[in-house]
Amino acid sequence: MSLANDNLPPSMSWRGWLLTETPHSRMQARLGRAYLGWRGFLRNPLAMAGLLIFIILVLTAIFAPLLTSHDPLAGDLGRRLSPPTDANILGTDQQGRDLWSRIVYGSRITLMIVFLVAITAAPIGLVIGTVAGYAGGWVEAVLMRVTDVFLAFPRLILALAFAAALGPGIENAVLAIALTVWPPYARLARAETLAVRHSDYVAAARMSGASPIRIIIGQIMPMCMSSLIVRVSLDMAGIILTAAGLGFLGLGAQPPSPEWGAMVSSGREHLLDQWWISTFPGIAIFVVSLGFNLIGDGLRDVFDPREQ
């Protein structure tokens, strides 16, 4: 093996290959940049704390059946409104359902909402922003005025309006949230496009006969990805809070689904006496939102040009 014959240990050889100032391929250059970004991310303890929270959330969602022995949908009226005990470590709700089980299985709903909104809203904003920035003229004016109309309304109010119009349900809640979060992505993508549309490599692609669509997809969109990733990661907390708000008002996931916002709502009438019904789902929302915010801050520091 060639690595075994190197003077440096294998790990050092790989590090040298990644950090070389003269990469031999585009893939090597990209891997080197990713490695540098990862090292910068590792130096941020708060970002690592956010990443740990995210990993715990993912593992909890994956191994939910192994983390609890109770059915999150099955109630036991003999144990209704039971405080935290050895049998029910976080207590039970009004129908005797184990709160720990419902919070654990609710992590799946939270992850699903975050993932679906991200893969729906981010591409919409990216396409609208890059097309507006590259095309200019009346196309830019129309697309940006539509974006401004969406930005004129508070996100939660607009999500409530869409959710009320579409009807209750987790699918409609995801669509309603996605329709409210794409405008900032569009404005960010437009700003990035305006900064690079007159650059030399875009001019070279245009002179080589590349179509506007090919230039947008192949040259401009990749330049917008780092800023878009940071913005999406920072918006995850807002998406979680908006989904919880819709669930709290009965416009999100419907009973008996163990959605955290709906769980908080179900315990609001018992908050003074049976505080655990609303408190523990609220803590879950807070911790996960904090984790995504910390990840977003860490990614922003990594992709910040002033830090390069």
pLDDT tens by residue, 23-75? 777 777 777 777 777 888 888 899 999 999 999 999 999 999 999 988 888 88
Token pair in block for residue 179 = 């329709």
Instruction: Report the CATH number that the domain containing residue 290 is assigned in CATH.
Output: 1.10.3720.10
Q: What does the pLDDT look like over 228-275, one tens digit per residue?
A: 988 898 899 889 999 998 988 888 888 888 999 999 988 888 888 889
CB-based contacts of 175, cutoff 8 Å, min separation 6? 120, 162, 166
Number of domains in the chain: 1
**Mean pLDDT along residues 116-138:** 91
How far apart, in whole angstroms, are the C-alpha atoms of residue 303 and residue 230?
A: 8
Domain that includes residue 140, residue range: 41-307
Q: Is residue 283 part of a domain?
A: yes
Q: Is residue 13 part of a domain?
A: no
- The pLDDT of residue 3: 41
Q: Is residue 173 part of a domain?
A: yes
Token pair in block for residue 291 = 């984790």
Q: Long-range contacts: 147-154, Cβ < 8 Å, 24+?
A: 147/183, 147/186, 147/187, 148/183, 150/179, 150/180, 150/182, 150/183, 151/183, 151/184, 151/187
Q: Is residue 15 part of a domain?
A: no
Asked if 171 and 253 touch (Cβ cutoff 8 Å), the reply is no
Asked if 102 and 160 touch (Cβ cutoff 8 Å), the reply is no
Share of the chain above pLDDT 70, in %: 93
Determine which of 127-131, 165-169, 182-186 has the lowest per-residue pLDDT on average: 165-169
Average pLDDT value for the chain? 86
Q: Is residue 92 part of a domain?
A: yes
- The pLDDT of residue 153: 87
- The pLDDT of residue 260: 92
Q: Is residue 6 part of a domain?
A: no
Q: Is residue 267 part of a domain?
A: yes
Q: What does the pLDDT look like over 71-124, one tens digit per residue?
A: 888 888 888 888 998 888 998 988 889 999 999 999 999 999 999 999 999 999
Token pair in block for residue 182 = 């794409």
pLDDT at 131 over 90: yes
Q: Is residue 17 part of a domain?
A: no
- The pLDDT of residue 6: 46
How far apart, in whole angstroms, are the C-alpha atoms of residue 158 and residue 177?
A: 9
pLDDT at 157 over 70: yes
pLDDT at 160 over 50: yes
**Mean pLDDT along residues 2-12:** 45
Position 9 confidence tier, pLDDT thresholds 50, 70, 90: very low
Question: What residue has token string 């910390």?
Answer: 294
